[in-house]
Amino acid sequence: MIKVWGKSEYGYYAYYISIATVLLAIAEFGTPNVFRRNYTDTESHTKKEVYSSLYVLRLLFITPIALTFLGIAWYYDSLFFIYYSLITIIISFRLNEYKLEMNSENKFISKMKSLIYLFGLIIKVFAIYNGATLETIGLITLIEHCLFTLAFIKKTGFDFKFNMLKKDLIKTFLYTSSAFASTYIIALLGGKIYTLLVFNVLGSEETAVFAFSTRMLEILLVPTQVFPVVIIPLLMKSILNRDILYTHINRVFSYLYLGITLFSILILPIILPYIIDGTENIVQFLPLYCLTLVFSLGNNLAGVYFISLNYNKILIYRSLALLISNLSTGLLFMEWWGLSGIIYSIVFSYFFIDISGAVFSLACRKEYISRMSGFLKPWILLKSIIDISENHRGTNKV
């Protein structure tokens, strides 16, 4: 996109997609995590009761967000947001994907989504090189969502039944999803707020530089996707002491990301000029931006720790404080240092959250000490990996 469209057009796309991402997160409203936590708990309710009740709860959030997309489409006079309004409606059926996850059919999910996304990627690249606009990309994305959602529904069926609705379950799920959603949405907005700020403060071309760099960091953060699927259940059902296991996990991921950070700083400036033209600003910004990887990792790990302990209030307070710090320092630092001010804002905000949390909360202090201790004793890194692996096998047996 940035190579063919240029920085200005890509900056507009990045701005639009940031708006869409935040709204879609609100539409989901933490319900995927609620489903994963409750679907297999058949002691107090059946699977169909969970599915039906959670489906209705999702509709309560999806409907107003779909209408919001239509309003934004009218405001910006763009079909892009109309397509995302339809995507919002489609995600009401994503419970079927989560159902497959809980039935240990991740292989089918991976194959189906990989195939569809690969096919969609080829079409998008072809379309971009043949003059497609961001509205066309939005339409292709809509088709992708339609295809894999239909595949999941065909595989699992549609389990919604009116007679399976339970008001008490809906109320319970609303409370739990609010905790998950508040944390996730605030954290997501904290990440996307920089794109929105850069667009409105520095313009579309600087937005393109920042958005492209953020995409690169998202790719580098792919290993952390194991957190919600593996690490959180591992901590919740650990056969080892939770704090010891958490320290092991910190050590493994800390050194993994120190390596990724150093590799990125050294290699990206060399390979970027071969990928896209006009990379001067990106080459100057991206290596420094990669330094924030370690701080992002620390924040993600802290979230994993507090989720495993059901410390939802701490998660909300941390996320809200991070959002406020991102917004205030982001505006201030960009006025002083331009795009580089974002890096200073991110580092300052993460330090502020960790230090203030350690001062005012015993749980935060305990987590912070455990996380920092993960940087120590690099010579026992192999032992940490072995302990995590053995604990995972032991948990599965339990």
Which residue did the predictor score with more confidence, 209 or 236?
209
pLDDT computed for residue 182 by the predictor = 67
At 30, the pLDDT band (50, 70, 90 cuts) reads: confident
Between 191 and 29, the more confident residue is 29
- Residue range 119-126: mean pLDDT, rounded: 93
Residue 86 confidence (pLDDT) above 90:
yes
Type of residue found at 281: N
pLDDT for the residue numbered 13: 92
- Alpha carbon 370 to its chain centroid, in Å, reads 24
Q: Where are the beta strands (DSSP E) in the chain?
A: none
Predicted pLDDT at 225: 83
Cβ count near 188 (within 10 Å): 18
Quick one: average pLDDT of 27-48? 72
Of the candidate ranges 37-51, 52-66, 186-200, 280-294, the one whose mean pLDDT is the lowest = 37-51
Q: Would you say residue 262 has pLDDT above 60?
A: yes
pLDDT of residue 164: 61
Chain position carrying tokens 């309004």 = 85
- Which pLDDT score, from 0 to 100, does residue 271 have? 84
DSSP 302-324: HHHHHHHTT-HHHHHHHHHHHHH
- pLDDT tier at 180, thresholds 50, 70, 90: low
- For residue 64, pLDDT over 80 is answered with yes
In angstroms, the CA 96 to CA 108 distance is 12
- Could you tell me the pLDDT band of residue 273, with boundaries at 50, 70 and 90? confident
Cα dihedral: 246, 252, 254, 257 (round 10): -140
Average pLDDT over residues 87-106: 80
CA dist., res. 109 & res. 34, Å (int)? 19
Question: What's the pLDDT score for residue 122?
Answer: 94
pLDDT value at position 123?
94
Mean pLDDT, rounded, for 2-16:
88
Over residues 136-169, the pLDDT tens digits come to: 999 999 999 999 888 888 887 776 666 665 666 6
Distances from the Cα of 183 to the Cαs of 25, 28, 64, 293, 371, in angstroms?
A: 11, 13, 20, 20, 20
* Residue 46, SS3 per DSSP: coil
More confident residue, 17 or 157: 17
b/e code 108-128 from CB counts within 10 Å (16+ = b): bbeebbeebeeebeebbeeeb
Read off the pTM: 0.77
Residue 5: pLDDT over 70: yes
pLDDT digits (tens, 9 = 90+) for 359-383: 989 999 999 998 888 888 888 888 8
pLDDT in tens, 185-222: 666 666 678 888 888 888 888 888 888 888 888 888 88
pLDDT above 60 for 398: no
| Structure tokens belonging to residue 222 | 């792919």
Query: What pLDDT was estimated at residue 74?
Result: 94
State the average pLDDT for the chain.
84
Task: Identify which has the larger pLDDT, 240 or 287.
Answer: 287
